Amino acid sequence: MARKGIAFNFVSSFVDYYQTNTYYCNFMKLINFINDDLGRFFTIHHNYALFEFTVFVYKESFISEYYPDPNFKKYFLRDLDKVVYVE
């Protein structure tokens, strides 16, 4: 299993030309999939010359290590049972 998370690449839809045999990823569909099915802690790097981008999805446990202050616990699912909701 991954200790920190996973990473994967896609060809961007922001290209100079399209090829019929290439899949061009829809950003919004991908972001919704990542957030709904993989996790809310992710980054997308679309900052290099190739017409592609890399997605990094991090495990909640990995991200929570960077925020040890008790005030941040409410932002992590494993501690949701301790959060007080005000209506």
Contacts of 52 (CB under 8 A, 6+ apart): 9, 10, 11, 12
User: How does pLDDT run along the chain (87 residues), one tens digit per residue?
Assistant: 788 999 999 999 989 989 999 999 998 999 999 999 999 999 999 998 889 999 999 999 899 999 989 888 888 875 444 444 445
Alpha-carbon dihedral 34, 72, 79, 60, rounded to 10 degrees: 30
